Chain A
């Protein structure tokens, strides 16, 4: 069964550094998403992306965050200047269509900011 894959599984970064989290969505999916889960808290929506544009973003997704689909397979989340509070599990998801559709998640990248 096709899967969403994320790399790396764990990323450790110094505060203030830039970090890029990578995702390969399921190949025939058109909509892509990033969520985060701070330890012990619920999963929170960050951003959705379709046709090379952001379709929706949450209040969490401020100017230090950006997303990109640099080629036909990868989908990336960049955090420009990391803060301690960015430490979390980051999940990528994809769906074949957008509105009100089931989303399939990757295993996540654990980001630890020191």
Chain B
């Protein structure tokens, strides 16, 4: 099966930028997604990028996509303590219905 890979932990200081990286496997994915999970909560669709785009910006969030290397990143500018959460990268499966998730990157923002 395919694996979506992410680093497990990231710690940044409040006000700094955070960059969360992901490598995916299915080059036919139409969209690639970032979900946020706060403690005890569900999966919040944070942002997503169409596969024919290189970059998408949405307020403090910037998504970069390198299709050649199958690399996706999420940059959070001016990181706040409220951004502390687990961030999941996801791609569509070969069938298109299921989402394949990475194991999640736990972001800790310290004052």
Contacts and interface: CB of A to CB of B under 8 A. Distances in A.
Nearest to B104: A42
Given A42-B104, A102-B33, A55 B45 contact: no
Interface in A89-108: 91, 93, 98-108
B41 A33 contact: no
Given A41-B103, A55-B97, A98-B96, A103 B45 contact: yes
B43 interface: yes
Contact of A91 (B30, B43, B100, B103): B43
A43 interface: yes
- Could you say which of A43, A44, A98, A107 has the most chain B C-beta atoms within 10 Å of its C-beta? A43
Given A33-B97, A45-B98, A56-B95, A100 B42 contact: no
B8 to A, nearest CB: 11
Contacts, number: 61
Contacts of A45: 93, 98-100
B44 A105 contact: yes
Contacts of B35: 105
In the complex, which range does the number of interface residues on chain A fall in? 20 to 34
Contacts of A102: 31, 33, 45, 48
Interface string B16-58: 0000000000000111010100000111110010000000000
Interface of A: 6, 31, 33, 35, 41-45, 48, 55-56, 58, 91, 93, 98-108
Q: Which 9 A-B pairs rank lowest in CB-CB distance, beginning with the nearest?
A: A99-B96, A100-B30, A107-B42, A45-B98, A105-B43, A48-B97, A43-B101, A56-B97, A42-B103
5 contacts: A33-B98, A56-B98, A100-B92, A102-B45, A108-B41
Interface of B: 29-31, 33, 35, 41-45, 48, 88, 90, 92-93, 95-104
Given A31-B97, A108-B42, 7 more contacts: A33-B97, A42-B88, A44-B101, A58-B98, A93-B43, A100-B92, A102-B48
